[in-house]
C-alpha cells in the first residue's frame, strides 16, 4: 500500500472495478492492490451524490475490524487498514472507514481499523427482484 495522507472516519474506499454512475468520477488514489481511496469526499456526501444520480449506496451489516502493528502509529494504522480491506467480502464494491483506534505499549504501536462494507449499485434489491419476476412470469 502506498503512503498517503491520514485517512479519517467516513473515508470511502472503492474496489478498482467499482462501476459508478455516468458523470461521477471522483479523484481517487491507490489504497492497495484492489482498492482506491476517494479523496476529499466523505461517506455522507458520497451517498448524496450517488442518490442524486438515481443510484444507491447501500449499508451492509457486519463491519470488518482488523489489527495491525508497527514501529510507528502510521505504520500500525496502515497495516490494520490493509488487513481490513482484505477482510471485506469480495461481493462488496465499497467500504467506509468507521473507526481507527491506536495505542502504544513498550515501544510497539498497535491499531484497530473498522470498515463498514458498502455497495454502490444502480438498482435496489427489490427492483432487481421485480425485474427477475417480470422476466420469469410471462404476461397474460
Alpha helices by DSSP H, listed for 5-89, are 43-52, 73-87
Amino acid 60: pLDDT: 85
Amino acid 123: pLDDT: 86
Amino acid 138: pLDDT: 57
Amino acid 71: pLDDT: 96
61: its cell numbers: 451489516
73: its cell numbers: 502509529
Which pTM value belongs to this model?
0.84
Amino acid 78: pLDDT: 95
**Domain residue limits, the chain:** 11-136
Alpha helices by DSSP H, listed for the chain, are 43-52, 73-87, 125-136
Cα angle: 15, vertex 5, 105; to 5 degrees: 100
Residue numbers of the chain with a pLDDT score lower than 70? 1-6, 125-140
Q: Name beta bridge partners: 103.
A: 110
- Express each pLDDT in 75-93 by its tens digit: 999 999 999 999 999 999 9
Amino acid at each position: 500500500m502506498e503512503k498517503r495522507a491520514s485517512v479519517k472516519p467516513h473515508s470511502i474506499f472503492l474496489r478498482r472495478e467499482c462501476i459508478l454512475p455516468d458523470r461521477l468520477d471522483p479523484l481517487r488514489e491507490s489504497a492497495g492492490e484492489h482498492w482506491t481511496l476517494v479523496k476529499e469526499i466523505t461517506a455522507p456526501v458520497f451517498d448524496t451524490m450517488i442518490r442524486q444520480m438515481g443510484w444507491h449506496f447501500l449499508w451492509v451489516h457486519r463491519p470488518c475490524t482488523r489489527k495491525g502493528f508497527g514501529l510507528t502509529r502510521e505504520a500500525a494504522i496502515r497495516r490494520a487498514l490493509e488487513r481490513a480491506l482484505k477482510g471485506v467480502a469480495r461481493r462488496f464494491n465499497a467500504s467506509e472507514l468507521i473507526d481507527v483506534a491506536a495505542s502504544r505499549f513498550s515501544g510497539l504501536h498497535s491499531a484497530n481499523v473498522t470498515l463498514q462494507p458498502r455497495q454502490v449499485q444502480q438498482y435496489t434489491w427489490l427492483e432487481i427482484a421485480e425485474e427477475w419476476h417480470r422476466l420469469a412470469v410471462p404476461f397474460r
